[in-house]
Structure 1
Amino acid sequence: MSRTQMMPVQALYSPISDAIQRHEAGVRKSKKAVLTGSGRAWREDEEAYLLQTRLQKMPYKHIAVHLNKTELACRLHYHQLSRGSTRRKRTTSCSSDSPDPASGIPGLAASPIPNSKSRSISPAHIVGNYFATASPRLPAILPKPEPVAVSHPGESPQRHGIVMSEQSHEHLPSVTFRHGGPSYPSYHPPAPPLRLDCRELSPPSASAQGPVHVDLARLHSIYEVHRNAFWAVIAGDYGLNMSPAALEQAWKTGVCCPQHGGNPITPIASPDNDRKPLRRSPGLDKTRISSILGVDMEPMLREGWRRLRLGVCVVPPSLVNTIAARPAAVHCRQVVLKTPVSCTEPIMASKDGGPAPGHDPKSSSDYVQFNCLPPGGPLNRWSTTLTRGHDFPGAQAMLYGAGVPNREMMKNAPQVGIATVWWEGNPCKIIKGAVEKQGMLGWQFNTVGVSDAITMGGDGQRSRMRFSLQTRELIADSIESVTSAQHHDANISIPGCDKNMPGVVMAAARHNRPFIMVYGGTIRKGHSALLERHVNVSTCYEAAGAFAYGKLRAKTDAGAPGRESADVMEDIERHSCPGAGACGGMYTANTMATAIEAMGLTLPGSSSYPALSPEKARECERVGEVIKTTMERDIRPRDLLTRAAFENALVLTMILGGSTNGVLHFLAMANTAGVPLTLDDVARASDRTPFLADLAPSGKYLMEDLYEVGGTPSVLKMLIAKGLVDGSIPTVTGKTLAENVADWPSLDPGQQIIRPLEDPIKASGHIRILRGNIAPGGAVAKITGKEGLSFTGRARVFDRERDLNEALARGDIRREDGNLVLVVRYEGPKGGPGMPEQLRASAAIMGAGLTNVALVTDGRYSGASHGFIVGHVVPEAAAGGPVALVRDGDEVTIDAVLNRIDAAVSEAEMERRRAEWKAPEPRVKRGVLAKYARLVGDASHGAVTDGW
């Protein structure tokens, strides 16, 4: 391996000098004897070896994956070492010209490494320029290290490290070491690392592997850098509520928890040489075992491990059951607690031991809190937020649609997420085959995606909707990263939900390589037997409002057994989402899919084909041929993302009654593509475009219905003929948009979904851009005209969506209170953070029949929202916008004709309130949302994170 090849590894895990200095300062202090599990002091060379074995996984980010088996094996190695009695000989000379970072590791000698030809010396631990001769009683379970001087061409053998030979006892564990030191010369080929896995009973042969180089100085530096994270993971795995520093000390002293006058807790496995009983052994039980945590114990037994001791705190209930179920050749003493130990207690050594007086583990700067369930506790403690009762019917509907088989599973079964790069039912399976048929290589990779109907679950700090919008940026970032880093020549993206589609388009604008989007497709209609009509996910949220206000009833025999309100709610949840596909109305997913088709970035018909239709499968088969055409003709995304394309998208969105989220996404996509687009452009498009589609949420039809009368291409064909859409724009097919739809059938005569231009639902677009003393930077309203064109009411202010939802659930918002403008603030991109949607509130208002209520927020609305709603208020409250100054009782007027939103408050009063206003503390200070809040721009510029 060349030096160049090794540099990325070395750069990624470079030692941190001050961490090393801290360690060296620590080892200069007087050392106290520490005890092994068998009660005698550890030798320093044993400590060094334990450190070495513990370090081998440190360069990895996800050490928890192999933690159980790795840690157990390391500890078995260590306690085997403890059986030796001869102390190593300490040397007194040092030939190093400069301090070695590892020189402070206990158990390291200070003597030059002998020449590589000296093969007859005893096994040694070699670090940097030093080595320490180990005990001659080193057991055969350990691979024997051989000293080797590694030299490069033209250099004297100065850079040294330990080389672990492949010689190891048959049937015994092998050892993993990751290369971290100097690179090998060309004539000394590197070997892949051996794995420390007790289940691998025989290591690879020497001829196949060769020696493995270990730089203990680098490993020690890595340990210093990652020490807290390393011990925190161990604490989490064993369910210990201790600071990493306390756990490290406890581990070194041969226990797993500080004793504090309580029971001594031994490691999960240790040689029981003294055979003394534990100080307290309630429920003592002898069990015959052959396996702990899936690790084969037979090799250990052959090496003299005749008895194993299990610790009180270390054995979770699952392991106790495992041990009881696997009898074998040895007896094991097992301790079972009489009373459950709560994982939220600071110390878990014993129920009656407790922490030392005055000891507060949270006072440690590196304290990490771990929570877990008491024995026998429910496992669905997170998913129950969505599945208990009927608080989140949309989420339950989506989960039923995803395959939850019955109510029992919905309410009680824990839900386990399985992150995968690819799965059998994804359309990319067909697409990869189509690409390969064209003589090209198809490389599948994945990115993130969330379902907004499920993220809608939870309130306040439990709300997951805050995570939704920022996934658009994550999707764009990840696709840009993979496409660019992997040198892909083209990209086919397969999005399926709201933020997915703008995310993949933004990525395409960034990498600017031939690109096609294949929409995952819309869902089929559901049907409620008790309502006796079609239902969809939007029905769930409106039914929740009706349910809360006692207005949800079966169409016939209401109130009869099996037809009560709760039965109707259950029926809606079970049948709103009958299978795969994006939400079926003109919600955000279908808004973006139709708009992107109008921009020329998909094949004709992609946006209206149902997910499980044969047409969708044929589209996937055709896309391989078309992506090859884009490559051959060098058709790039930025060639297609033109001003005319965005105007087409805006016009079609107004025609179909699309989501207000479309405005946010069009601004973001245009920003990324370098196309000037503002709220004023949106306003102009709305002014000149009629609203024609009777589609949900404000209408009665779904995208499946539109598909059956011709779909998006038929609508585009009509709009091109009427001069509302520019048919001359280029598309991914190599043809113009007009050529793509020329052979498509016209809309079915007599269909009622798309009204004639001469008889629109509303003469101008339903999306209005408002400004005023509440929103000087702009706001986006969705007003179809069915609610009227202006609204005036008294303000009722909520600083959290949760507070409004609770008021609605209690029935505190009443029709007899007169006209109300409900203001929900501090829910913008920075304040939320994440600009969550207010669908629960807007749907509950509609379901309860509260037509005397308008809703204003600096957050967003779902595409399923409708009513007199205003969102995207800029500046947002968290940024000190005027919406933060509105108070209960202020008169607020919304005018969709004059495009104004104003509070009847004088400028002087506003200034007085501003002087009293104080910015609230950020709701999130760590993690992806905190990072998003720091980077994101305002909604009037698309809420992007990479420049606005």
Structure 2
Amino acid sequence: MTDAPKDAPIGLNRGLTNYGDTDFARYLRLSMARSMGLSSSLLKKPVIGIAATFSEFNNCHRGVPDLVEAVKRGVLAAGGLPREFPTISLGEPFLNPTALVFRNLMAMDTEEMVRGQPMDAVVLVGGCDKTVPAQLMGAVSADVPAIQVVTGPMSTGRWRGERLGACTDCRRFWGKFRAGEIDAETVEEIEGNLATTAGTCAVMGTASTMASLAEALGMMLPGTAAIPAVHADRIRAAEASGAAAMMLAAKDIRPSQIVTEKSVENALRVLLAIGGSTNAIIHLTAIAGRAGIKIDLNRLNTLSDETPVLVDLKPTGPFYMEDLHAAGGIGAVLRELRPMLHLDVMTVSGQTLGERLDAEPGYVDRAVVRAREEPLQPQGGLVALFGSLAPRGAILKRAAADPSLFEKEGRAVVFSSLEDLAARIDDPDLDVQPEDFMVLQNAGPLSQSGMPEAGYLPIPGKLARAGVKDMVRISDARMSGTAYGTIVLHVAPDAASGGPLGLVRNGDRIRLSVKERRIDLLVAEDELERRRETQPDTSAKAKRGYARLYREQVLQADEGCDLAFLRADPEG
């Protein structure tokens, strides 16, 4: 990597609007820029774009304006001109049918605004679950020097002497409510104490996982993934990122030089070691796909067998993201994994990963980040399953599951849709036993529901009241990174595209073997063929707009649920 050519256009001279007269285009642009009160000296500086995602429909992003101001300070101090611009913002609980459907739209927005506007580098400011992957997908495709800044996790609250944080605790208390252990008044009281500060979920959910992976990929400054949203260091990290963007522009260090096969594998190692969200497999696959890199689920299994779980955060442990920050952050995890990592990969700090890890490690709290020789679990938190029920794969978060259910055969109790699930799950006459396998169909990427976080099927009311805490649950849906249980997700191909999941009927036998990495439907092929002949079309239909584009182009979970035409090789 070398400095950009001296004669290359910089700042507002980049990408002039085409009027058929280059000099007129420059003259007109500068005159319009002067109308914003900018001095002539500033107009000659390198331009750093700031993709801002504040929205009053996104609670995670309440602190974005403060972060943007800090980025601007960093850019100005480093001799550049910061220019803030808005993009789509995705607030996970505020979108219908689900935020995943709009991730690709936000990625398109980010890509085109970065490419289409005159900037020498861009700082991506986001946080909520689908926002960070969307920004990274867009940045990789645009391939302009880029750096990620995240909003940071919430701080925990207190309730009746107990420490609470969204959203693992919200699921725990909702389960107690469904089981009749607490009443509606108590649930409402808890509701007001789960999310009490700005920032993303306080646990190792999808937002925190993606922040961690952005740092592991090298797209975020070292040590910044886990800083709490309300901590002063979060503001300082944003300022430093503005200055770093100026360095990236000067050296022309682009995402294509950072997001490589080696750095993607490093990120997968970190994902496994932190017991991260299952959603991250989909997002990292989509990000890698923008760089022409394929994530092989068989390779994931190999890495998982080699990589221990080192981080003891909820939903699988007792700690929160603020504890990980105080314990040494993702840097502490990377140092433990060092012998397993590719150390020659470049990062947005201008250093290789190896150079970063050569620095003094500092304090590490071993209650939160274990030593590699004394892991929480000897193998990684995620595993891919294959078999007649999931020919292209499925995902199980074994770190959050009950090992007693890993080698099991059970009877299928089938729900044909989310509506069917909602209508029957608490029916006292539902024919279901604790040893059964609950199966949800038509919740994948091609379904009407657009692959929501519905894979965390609730324990049927009558079983919950009887004390049942976990069952095998199978679907083509996703689940929140804050959830837990023996849950098989992302079954591909999905039911709506004609996958075998859609052929399961009540009473069928299914076999799960985590040891053998298999999930099989124990039904004869001739019977399945008869079912295929009468199987209704359950795929989503849309006449116009983005919904139609999405339905026509969306890929399966094993390909990251990106839109086919947005990948590095659209025909591949």
**Cα pair distance change 1:819/1:871, threshold 3 Å:** same
1:549 aligns to 2:179 (yes or no): yes
Look up the match of 2:83.
443
Aligned pairs, how many?
511
Q: Does 1:526 align with 2:526?
A: no
Structure 1 counterpart of 2:384: 769
1:830 to 429, 441, 446: 446
Determine the structure 2 residue equivalent to 1:821. 437
Match of 1:862 among 480, 505, 508: 480
Q: Hey, what's the Cα distance between the residues in 1 that align with 2:442 and 2:207?
A: 26
* Structure 1 equivalent of residue 144 of structure 2: 513
Question: What's the counterpart of residue 207 of structure 2?
Answer: 589
1:146-295 mapped onto 2 (5 Å cutoff): none
1:758 equivalent in alignment to 2:373? yes
Residue 65 of structure 2 aligns to which amino acid in structure 1? G
Task: Classify 1:844/1:622 alpha carbon distance in 2 versus 1 (closer, same or farther; 3 Å).
Answer: farther
- How far has the Cα of 1:870 moved from its partner? 0.8
Taking a change above 3 Å as real, the CA distance of residues 617 and 417 of structure 1, as seen in their structure-2 partners, is: closer
2:272 paired residue among 639, 654, 659 = 654
Kindly tell me: are residues 826 and 422 of structure 1, through their superposed partners in 2, closer, same or farther at Cα, counting changes over 3 Å?
Answer: closer
Tell me the equivalent position of 2:193: 575
Deviation at 1:624, TM superposition (A): 2.3
Greater Rg over alpha carbons, structure: 1
- In structure 1, give the amino acid aligned to 2:92: D
1:422 Cα deviation from its structure 2 partner: 11
| Partner Cα separation in structure 1 for residue 90 and residue 64 of structure 2 | 19
- Equivalence for 2:555: 937
Partner of 1:795: 412
Cα distance between partner residues in 2 of 1:914 and 1:795: 18
Q: How large is the RMSD of aligned CA atoms in angstroms? A: 2.7
Q: Give unpaired runs (5+ residues) of structure 1.
A: 7-414, 456-463, 553-564
Shift of 1:928: 2.8
* Aligned partner letter, 2:326: E
Equivalent residue of 1:491, what SS? strand
1:885 maps onto 2:516 in alignment: no
Q: Is the CA contact 1:892–1:902 (under 8 Å) kept in the aligned structure 2?
A: yes
Superposed displacement of residue 810, structure 1: 4.6
- Corresponding residue SS for 1:712: helix
Aligned in 2, Cα 1:535/1:812: closer, same or farther, shift over 3 Å? farther
Paired AA for residue 829 in structure 1: P
Match for residue 485 of structure 1 among 116, 140, 152: 116
Of 354, 357, 365 in structure 2, the residue corresponding to residue 738 of structure 1 is: 354
User: Structure 1, residues 628-659: CA drift from partner, whole Å, max 9, x if none?
Assistant: 11112111110011111011100011011001
Q: Distance in 2 between matches of 1:613 and 1:423?
A: 11
Contact 1:605 1:713 in 2 (8 A): yes
Secondary structure of 1:908's counterpart equals helix
The answer as to whether partners of 1:543 and 1:847 remain within 8 angstroms in 2 is no
Q: State how far apart, in whole Å, the 1-side matches of 2:475 and 2:546 are.
A: 23
SS for the counterpart of 1:647 is: helix
- 2:422 match: 805
Q: Name which of structure 1's ranges 693-702 and 655-664 shifts more when overlaid on structure 2.
A: 693-702
TM-aligned CA deviation for residue 501 of structure 1: 1.2
DSSP 3-state at the match of 2:391: coil
1:673 equivalent to 2:279? Answer no
Higher helix share: 2
Q: Quickly say closer, same or farther: Cα 1:842–1:493, change in 2 above 3 A.
A: farther
Distance between the aligned counterparts of 1:545 and 1:906, measured in 2?
37
Instruction: Report if the CA contact (8 A) 2:155-2:165 is conserved.
Output: no
Q: Aligned AA for 1:631? A: A
Supply the distance in 2 between the matched residues of 1:634 and 1:548 (Cα, whole angstroms).
55
Change (3 A) 1:838 1:631: same
Q: What is the Cα deviation at residue 728 of structure 1?
A: 2.5
Report the Cα offset of residue 840 of structure 1: 5.7
> Which secondary structure state, in structure 1, belongs to the residue aligned with residue 374 of structure 2?
coil
Map Cα deviations across residues 807-843 of structure 1 (whole Å, 9 max, x no partner).
Answer: 34456668x8241211111111111342111166358
Whole-angstrom CA distance in 1 between matches of 2:455 and 2:437: 16
CA separation of 1:5 and 1:728: change in aligned 2, threshold 3 A: closer
Classify 1:572/1:924 alpha carbon distance in 2 versus 1 (closer, same or farther; 3 Å): farther
SS of 1:797's equivalent in the other structure is strand
Deviations 1:470-523 (Å, cap 9, x if unpaired)? 222122111111111112211110111111111111111111111110111111
Say which SS state the counterpart of residue 399 (structure 2) adopts: coil
- Structure 1 equivalent of residue 471 of structure 2: 853
User: 1:571, CA displacement in angstroms?
Assistant: 2.0
**Counterparts of 1:728 and 1:870 in 2: how far apart (Å)?**
35
Q: Deviations over 1:502-553 (max 9, x none)?
A: 1111111111111110111111012222x7343432222232222122023x
CA distance in structure 1 between the partners assigned to 2:94 and 2:426 by the alignment: 20
Contact 1:604 1:741 in 2 (8 A): no
SS of the residue aligned with 1:902? Answer: strand
Mapped partners of 1:758, 1:600: distance in 2: 26
Is the 8 Å Cα contact of residues 92 and 98 (structure 2) preserved in structure 1? no
CA distance in 1 between counterparts of 2:93 and 2:539 reads: 29
CA contact (8 A) 1:777 1:874 kept: yes
Determine the structure 2 residue equivalent to 1:361: none
Alignment of 1:323-472 (within 5 A): 425-455=65-95, 464=96, 466-472=97-103
User: When the two structures are superposed, what TM-score results if normalisation uses the length of structure 1?
Assistant: 0.51
| Residue equivalent to 2:5 | none
List per-residue Cα deviations over 1:240-278 (Å, max 9, x = no partner): xxxxxxxxxxxxxxxxxxxxxxxxxxxxxxxxxxxxxxx
| Residues 832, 692 of structure 1: alpha-carbon distance in 2 compared, 3 angstrom cutoff | farther
Please give the secondary structure, in 1, of the residue aligned with 2:383.
strand
Q: Please give the per-residue CA displacement for 1:338-376, whole angstroms capped at 9, x wherever unaligned.
A: xxxxxxxxxxxxxxxxxxxxxxxxxxxxxxxxxxxxxxx
Structure 2 letter corresponding to 1:773: S
Question: Which residue type is aligned with residue 175 of structure 2?
Answer: G
Partner residue of 1:539? 169
The equivalent of 1:123 in structure 2 is: none
Runs in 1 of length 4+ with deviation above 4 angstroms?
Answer: 415-419, 421-424, 809-814, 842-849, 923-927
Report the residue type matching 2:442 in the other structure. Y
**Which fold has the larger relative contact order, with Cα–Cα distance below 8 Å and residues 6 or more apart in sequence?**
2
CA gap of 1:654–1:423, structure 2 versus 1, over 3 A, is closer
Alpha-carbon separation, structure 1, partners of 2:539 and 2:379? 42
Q: Which residue number corresponds to residue 501 of structure 1?
A: 132
Deviation at 1:746, TM superposition (A): 4.1
What is the DSSP-based 3-state SS (H/G/I as helix, E as strand, rest coil) of the residue aligned with 2:387?
coil
Give the letter aligned to residue 503 of structure 1. A
Alignment of 1:748 onto 2:364: yes
Cα distance between partner residues in 1 of 2:64 and 2:257: 34
Contact 1:833 1:933 in 2 (8 A): no
Preserved CA contact (<8 Å) 2:274 2:310: yes
Q: TM-score scaled to structure 2, two decimals?
A: 0.83
In 1, Cα distance between the equivalents of 2:536 and 2:88? 36
- Correspondence for 2:325: 707
For 2:127, give the aligned amino acid: G
Task: Find the residue that maps to 1:607 and give its secondary structure.
Answer: coil
Question: Counterpart of 1:825 in structure 2: which amino acid?
Answer: Q
d(CA) in 2 for partners of 1:773 and 1:817?
Answer: 24
Contact 1:536 1:577 in 2 (8 A): yes
Secondary structure, aligned partner of 2:438: strand
Specify every segment of 5 or more residues in structure 2 that has no aligned partner in the other structure, as ranges. Answer: 1-17, 21-54
2:418 is equivalent to residue 778 of structure 1: no
